[in-house]
Amino acid sequence: MADIIQLLPDHVANQIAAGEVVQRPASVVKELLENAIDAGATTIKLVIKDAGKTLVQVIDNGKGMSVTDARLSFERHATSKIKTADDLFQLNTKGFRGEALASIAAIAHVELKTKQEHEDVGTCIEIEGSKVNKQEVVVTPKGTSISVKNLFYNIPARRNFLKSNTVETRHIIDEFHRVALAHSNISFVMFHNGSETFNLPESNYRQRIVNIFGTKTNEKLVPVDEDTEVLKISGFVGKPEFAKKTRGEQFFFVNNRFIKSAYLNHAIGSAFEGLLKDGAHASYFLNLTVNPQTIDINIHPTKTEIKFDDEHTLYAILRSAVKHSLGQFNIAPVLDFDRDANLDTPYSYQQKGTPSVEVDRSFNPFKEEKQSIGTASTSYKKAPASNWESLYVGLESKGTQTQQDFSEVHFESSSKNESIFENENQVEQKQTTYQFHNKYIVSTIKSGMLLIDQHRAHQRVLYEDFLKNMTVKEAMSQQLLFPLQLHFSPSEIEIINQLKTDLEHTGFIFQTIKGELLEIAGVPVSVPESEVSIILEQLISDVENEVPDSNFSATDLLAKSLSKSLAIKAGQSLTLIEQEHLVNSLFACKEPNVSPTNRTTFVTMTVDELDKKFI
């Protein structure tokens, strides 16, 4: 039998490696930014076009590469970070596997320009699909500029799996945030389609957080600082009252590398226990410094997950440090009473003691009653009750007059009161719905009964109402007496700008959208003013994470998000009229069977099915 095992060509092996390293444009951004940091850059510029599908360019002022290094950097497993296997457990750099540039060059058009400081000229290399087309001398500034164009041009099947530009841009911004937060001593600038999205100057860690997430973030931060032999913790957690319903502001950095850890996240949640509302998530920006020998970084292709040598100890230290900070800055309640300074003893009276009070210890009012009234030592005398008959003089005549007066009084409201009770009795007799556990509505039908999920049913009703309003563009709006001022990060403001027209069709009236400030002068009739902030946060989260593809309707997404936020929740008690109105509104919808997220809104149970339960 002929041999069937063969070595793969380099370009095929590179494409397989690219499947692990490069999942989307954000993966390219991450790898190139980390390479720039490892090169010792103090200023890094990121340029993207069409959410990175057309262009991802990173320009840095690092140490650059020589002609030989520039050519070798695109070879598989070529790296300057490790030389032996033991170096894998002494890593203090970002990239180390030597597959990033080789994988990127296998699925895109790559142009590299680099120059070292002591050199007069630099090197330019152009590669298409792992094939070097050109390598020549070029005049370029100190550092490296690498451009990745037409990602997945030779793998159209992979390109079809990319999401819409909005979603891909969100992923790129997330990676940009992670790298920028881990290195506040480096200046970062980001351009998207020719406009400047972020300009982050060199600063301290707190100022870097504020520059990314908005000036209002400064008042939300509580510092955390703990230094032990095992672990050093520094950074900030958010105050509980500013907790959001999304996890967008949760960042763990281990040795300046962003990681995801459900175990450590649980430690933060445990520290905030009892301080957060239901469904809210704490914000945190924490840097953990550990011995590189106690962690294993190379367990995940994207290196966002690492393995700790002693997770239980880290859990305990992290939980205690956060809990201590919340208590130290009076965020968490403590077992103490508030002391009122007004009740303190004045300083000049502190040495004078407590004034004495003279009392007659022999005084007993019950004992004095038995003594004679004429005794001179009596200090308590009972009032005589000899004139008690005078209290009732003339009462008989007054009672007769009163009786005559009342005989002429007519109770006009008596008949009305009777009719009110009669109507209420009639309503109770005609009741056709019943609320079960404040979650389901039971209604009778000819063949049996309906069991309706009130939350999903209300979602369907609101969803179709919002779709109709946005299509017809005749939504009702209620004006606010004072404009509502909300603060969002620059990236969130950009999302609201994209949805502004559709939001206005639902009834929102925007007065000002400038910088990080959003002023709302009117809201839809069904939206309470106190819920506007929560609704917009939920909407932004849905836009960032739930748009499946470029053909998805933004109007449909907006209607789904608003209906999900405004629908009555499980546990909310409804009156009989509200129950009946919800049932009638549900069955007036075009698709009453399912919620906007395709979940069942009601189930039916016939009399026969009920009878079988008792067999």
What would the pLDDT profile of 569-584 be if each residue is shown by its tens digit? 888 888 888 888 999 9
* Average predicted confidence (pLDDT) for the chain: 80
Res. 47 pLDDT band, cuts 50 70 90: very high
Residue 12 has pLDDT above 80, yes or no: no
Res. 340 pLDDT band, cuts 50 70 90: low
At the top level of CATH, the class of 440-604 is: alpha beta
Residue-wise burial string across 334-350, b where 16 or more C-beta atoms lie within 10 A, e elsewhere: eeeeeeeeeeeeeeeee
Mean pLDDT, residues 433-456: 88
pLDDT at 307: 79
Beta partners for residue 148, in sequence order: 56, 110
pLDDT at 114: 93
Mean pLDDT, residues 125-139: 90
- Phi/psi for 354 (5° steps) reads -95, 135
Q: At what angle do helices 454-472 and 554-566 cross, to 10 degrees?
A: 140
pLDDT at 179: 93
Secondary structure (DSSP) of 27-45: HHHHHHHHHHHHTT-SEEE
Mean pLDDT, residues 8-24: 72
Each residue's pLDDT tens digit, 60-72? 999 999 898 888 8
Query: CA dist 269 to 168, 218, 246, 471, Å?
Result: 29, 21, 14, 42
What number of other Cβ atoms are within 10 A of residue 271's Cβ? 23
For CA atoms 540, 271, 241, 564, give the dihedral sign: positive
pLDDT at 129: 84
pLDDT at 182: 92
Domain with CATH 3.30.565.10 in the chain: 10-202
pTM, full prediction: 0.67
pLDDT at 345: 57
- CATH code assigned to 206-328: 3.30.230.10
Distance (Å, whole) CA 368 – CA 360: 14
Domain with CATH 3.30.230.10 in the chain: 206-328
Mean pLDDT, residues 424-435: 63
pLDDT at 598: 86
Mean pLDDT, residues 392-408: 55
Task: Decide if 558 contacts 538 (C-beta within 8 A).
Answer: no
**For the chain, how long is the longest CA-to-CA vector?**
138
pLDDT at 338: 55
Q: What are the tokens at 315?
A: 């859990």
Q: In this prediction, what percent of the chain has a pLDDT beyond 70?
A: 77
User: Of 19-23, 215-219, 230-234, 494-498, where does the model show the most confidence?
Assistant: 230-234
Give the SS3 label for residue 118: coil
Distance (Å, whole) CA 292 – CA 295: 6
Q: Which residues fall within 8 angstroms of residue 97, CB to CB, at 6 or more apart?
A: 77, 79, 298
Task: Decide if 98 contacts 76 (C-beta within 8 A).
Answer: yes
Each residue's pLDDT tens digit, 217-270? 888 899 999 998 888 999 999 998 888 877 778 999 998 889 888 888 899 989
Domain with CATH 3.30.1370.100 in the chain: 440-604
Q: Report the relative pairing of strands 221-227 and 295-296 from DSSP bridges.
A: unpaired
- Phi/psi for 493 (5° steps) reads -60, -35
Distance (Å, whole) CA 456 – CA 448: 21
For residues 532 and 341, the model is more confident at 532
Q: What are the tokens at 186?
A: 């480096």
pLDDT at 378: 46
pLDDT at 343: 58
pLDDT at 336: 53
**Residue 306, H or E segment:** none
Each residue's pLDDT tens digit, 341-396? 565 555 555 555 566 677 777 777 776 555 444 444 444 455 555 566 666 666 55
At the top level of CATH, the class of 10-202 is: alpha beta
- Phi/psi for 7 (5° steps) reads -80, 135
User: Of 49-58, 437-446, 528-537, where does the model show the most confidence?
Assistant: 49-58
Res. 301 pLDDT band, cuts 50 70 90: low
For residues 180 and 274, the model is more confident at 180
pLDDT at 549: 43
Q: Which residues fall within 8 angstroms of residue 123, CB to CB, at 6 or more apart?
A: 65, 66, 67, 70, 112, 113, 114, 115, 135, 136, 137, 138
Mean pLDDT, residues 106-123: 91
Residue 408 has pLDDT above 70, yes or no: no
Q: Report the relative pairing of strands 143-149 and 131-138 from DSSP bridges.
A: unpaired
Res. 185 pLDDT band, cuts 50 70 90: very high
Secondary structure (DSSP) of 409-449: ---TTHHHHHHHHHHHHHHHHT--EEEETTTEEEEEETTEE
For residues 288 and 336, the model is more confident at 288
Q: What are the tokens at 317?
A: 């230290």
